[in-house]
Amino acid sequence: MFHKTKSVLATLAATAALTTGAFAGSHAKLSGDLVIFSDMSNPAPRAVMEGMVERFGEMHPDLNIELTVIDREAYKTQIRNFLTANAPDVANWYAANRMRPYVDAGLFEDISDVWEDPELADLASTKGAMTLDGKQWGVPYTYYQWGVYYRKDIYEELGLNEPATFEEMKSNCQTILDSGRKCYTIGTKFLWTAGGWFDYLNMRTNGYDYHAKLTGGEIPWTDEGVAKTFANWRELIDMGAFIDNHTAYSWQESLPFIVSGEAAAILKGNFAVPPLREAGLDDSKLDFYQFPSINPDVELAEDAPTDTFHIPSGAKNKEAAKAFLKFVVSAENQTLINNGDNLGQLPVNAKSSVDDDKFLKEGFEMLSSNSPGGVAQFFDRDAPAEMAKVAMEGFQEFMVKPDNLDKIIDRLDRAAQRIYK
Amino acid sequence: MSSSTEAATKASWYKRNEIAATPWLFLIPGVAMFLLYVIFPIFQSINVSFYDWDGLGEAQWVGMGNYEELYWDDAFYVSLRNNLIWLVLYLLAIPAGLFIALFLNQTVTGIRLYKSLFFFPFVISQVVVGLVFTWFYDPTFGLLNQFLAVFGIDPINVLGDERFVTYGIIAAGIWPQTAYCMILYLTGLNAVDPEQIEAARLDGAKGWKMLWHIIVPQLKPATFIAFVVTIIGALRSFDLISIMTNGGPFGESRVLSFYMFEVALSEYGFRMGYGASIAVVLFLIMLCFITYFLWSMYKDEKGGR
């Protein structure tokens, strides 16, 4: 499970790198060991991580960088152990409430001083997601938009347009259903995909602030607004908008339905694009639209989960770690690691450029100019882990048995009273 | 004379107690490991179950709070119910194993090959068994539903429907467990006394009577072991659930061990105290069986003397 890449880079290339990599801190002389634990274990992210270590190493020839890449899923449980027992200098994690247990336990270093650096002013859009208790606990390195990825060719065949309102969304869906297809594919076996639907339906019905208060425990689940959200969701369920048997599939297993044309769309993060392209859906067949507005009185808000780097409080070489964090968020590095050949996601630095990719451009445009309500992380990052689990299980049950709604709400309310006390 | 008694009293404590002490000396490493890794954690778990603890911060004493919450927790009862279903249905592996063993207990060319083929599911990993059955049950592409479609039956979403999911997983689990019981019975059948069978045959016993009154009683040791491993297997039914459904749909296929894992150790969990209280309940259930096994073993040994 562990893959060790030991990069001991002491080459003359350092001079060359220094001339290109112009950012604050690069001039400080760094030495000693820098231990990095990363969860970027999929092939593309892994190459990105190794590339960053190499380039950072070239800038600081005296620094001995030790990178350990851990399987992404296993990392989620291992982080607890290594933060307490054998803390690295830099570690990956996720933004918002997902940081809460480690911040509360004092295992993440407060790096508000790094954020005071003028260069980090360009990261203003994600600062909120990195802030807990008024302090910053890490830096983002990538994020991606969520939205509806749909089969353009099917929409054209049926003469449909991208919907802007919930009414259009439903009438489109009816046309699609009449043509013998399903409107949306989804695989709820691992629950969180249903959380995406709840995020959007709730943010469109009640707005971002309401959603944030709900996931933050300030609004009870028995509230009328939640009931409205579920009522809207129920309209789609009762139409038969979602594929049958979605409880048996993971999100990857739900993709063949959109590839084969049995379903016309999927609500998903941008990470769904590469597998769909690989399966043969080129840009003439696959397109993207922002989740339509439901309640015209609320501003549009989006989900854009952010992945992050942190410094554990037990780190030994904090100076080098801070320099590495600044390097990661620098405009130039952000442009490079988020381009289509690497992560294929959105850069967090406003000064970096978005790769020339249809979906990235549309997503960047949407997040920067058409998401006035705010940017949420994702249900299981905004709500505390325990609440997220209970709630997403409820969403899954609701999608199969909408009549159980009262029981589900009761259960969520009881869980919320215990968790947010 | 006097010098020899003097020598005896002078001999070391160990020399005097050699016979009694040596077995204990040999047992010490094993006993120490057992105490450290089995007995001590049991009490530690019981202790943790009285606290509210996320595994990182300060543990907070809540007394019976975790158990009280268990009492009101629907998910706990679902898991408990599933555990009971597992215990009962998993035992089917024993008669199934017996009949396959009887069927294979003959001398035909290549019987070793057939035996090993029947034993095969036990050799492959539970994870692989789980994956194979997941594909088998797939509501759209799976073999089961393709087969049902031939008879015009609508597809059944075995793993996605809360009514069938537990039975679907048990069926997958019984497959390797049957193979295990079969092996136990095959070795047991080797030890069956041919003279008794001969005698019974002379007395006119055959078929079911022969099986029930002559063969099965002689297989009692094998049955006992098969019973023990099957019960333990049913209570450990964790890997299949994790692979096939991850506890879903909406928690309907969870058993206590999986629920404990979810609550205490999974991505969304980390309630160590609550997990420990589930573990304690599971331990108490197991304790009933363990007590029964120990008691019957004790009785056997006493009878043997």
pLDDT one-digit tens code per residue, A210-244: 999 999 899 999 999 999 999 999 999 999 999 99
Confidence label for B304 from pLDDT (cuts 50, 70 and 90): low
Contacts B264 to A, Cβ<8 Å: none
* Interface contact B160-A245, CB threshold 8 A: yes
B243 within a domain of the structure (yes/no)? yes
Confidence of residue B259 (pLDDT cuts 50, 70, 90): very high
CATH no. for residue B243? 1.10.3720.10
Highest mean pLDDT among A15-29, B78-92, B257-271: B78-92
| DSSP per-residue codes, A267-279 | EEEGGGHHHHHHT
Contact B252, B169 (CB under 8 A): no
Interface A-B, measured as beta-carbon pairs within 8 A, has a size of 77
**B131 & B250 share domain:** yes
Do B36 and B125 fall within a single domain? no
Q: Are residues B159 and B84 in the same domain?
A: yes
Write out chain A residues lying below 8 Å of B145, CB-based. Answer: none
Closest B-chain CA to A74: B267
Which contacts qualify for B171-174: CB closer than 8 Å, 24 or more apart? B171/B133, B172/B129, B172/B130, B172/B132, B172/B133, B172/B240, B172/B244, B173/B86, B173/B90, B173/B126, B173/B129, B173/B233, B173/B234, B173/B237, B173/B240, B174/B89, B174/B90, B174/B92, B174/B93, B174/B96
Q: Measure A126 CA to nearest chain B CA, in Å.
A: 24
Which positions ≥6 away from B98 have C-beta within 8 Å? B181, B182, B185, B216, B219
Q: Which domain holds residue B25?
A: 2-47
Structure tokens at A187: 């695989």
Nearest-angstrom CA–CA distance, B222 and B226: 6
Judge whether B60 lies within some domain.
no
The beta strands (E) that lie in A213-357 are given as 263-269, 286-289, 301-303, 306-310
From CA A267, how far away is CA B22, in angstroms rounded? 70
B227 inside domain: yes
Q: pTM of the full predicted structure?
A: 0.82
Same domain as B176, residue B27:
no
CA angle (A102 as vertex; A99, A107 as ends), nearest 5: 130
Whether residues B297 and B187 fall in one domain:
yes
Q: Do A418 and B54 touch (CB under 8 A)?
A: no
Which homologous superfamily does the CATH classification assign to the domain defined by A146-303+370-419? Periplasmic binding protein-like II (3.40.190.10)
Name the fold adopted by A3-141+308-352. Answer: D-Maltodextrin-Binding Protein; domain 2 (3.40.190)
Give, in degrees to the nearest 5, the angle at Cα B267 between A258 and B84. Answer: 90
Which of the two residues, A108 and A25, has the higher pLDDT score? A108
Are B192 and B292 part of one and the same domain? yes
| Option in A76, A101, A191 nearest B56 (CB) | A101
Both B162 and B258 in one domain: the answer is yes
Please name which of A74, A127, A135 lies closest in space to residue A108, comparing C-alpha atoms: A135
Q: B75 and B34 share a domain?
A: no
Residue B3 predicted with pLDDT over 70: no
Task: Please give the order of strands across the beta sheet that includes A90-94.
Answer: A3-7, A63-69, A32-38, A90-94, A306-310, A139-143
Burial string for B46-57 (b: 16+ CB within 10 Å, else e) reads eebbbbbbbbbe
Calpha distance A181→A175 (Å, rounded): 9
**pLDDT given for residue A11 in this prediction:** 36
Give the residue on A whose Cα is nearest the Cα of B269: A386
The chain B residues in contact with chain A (CB within 8 A) are 54-57, 69, 72, 74, 137-140, 155, 157, 159-161, 245-246, 248-251, 262, 265-271
Put simply, the answer to whether B269 touches A385 (Cβ < 8 Å) is: yes
Tokens describing residue A415: 């869980």
Domain count, chain B: 2
Same domain? For B198 and B163 the reply is yes
Distance CA B262, CA B270 (A): 8
Q: What are B123-150's pLDDT values in tens digits?
A: 888 899 999 999 999 888 889 988 988 8
Question: Is there a contact between A245 and B262 if contact means CB atoms under 8 Å apart?
Answer: no
- Report yes or no on B99 lying in a domain: yes
Do B189 and B127 belong to one domain?
Answer: yes
A146 contacts A306 by C-beta, under 8 angstroms: no
Q: Do domains A3-141+308-352 and A146-303+370-419 have the same CATH topology?
A: yes
Is position B126 within any domain?
yes
**Is the same domain home to B91 and B8?**
no
Evaluate whether A301 touches A373 at the Cβ level (below 8 Å): yes
Q: Does the distance separating the beta carbons of B269 and A386 come in below 8 Å?
A: yes
Contact A107 B270 (CB under 8 A): no
Evaluate whether residue B242 is within a structural domain. Answer: yes
Say yes or no for a CB contact (<8 Å) between A247 and B138: no
Q: How far is CA A100 from CA A104, A106, A138, B295, in A?
A: 6, 10, 12, 50
Eight-state DSSP code of residue A139 = E
Question: Is a pLDDT exceeding 60 seen at residue B208?
Answer: yes
The answer on B19 and B82 residing in a single domain is no
- What residue ranges do the domains of chain A occupy? 3-141+308-352, 146-303+370-419
Which ranges of chain B would DSSP assign to H, the alpha helix?
Answer: 2-10, 13-16, 18-34, 40-48, 65-72, 74-90, 93-104, 111-123, 126-137, 143-150, 165-190, 194-202, 207-210, 216-218, 220-235, 239-244, 256-264, 272-304
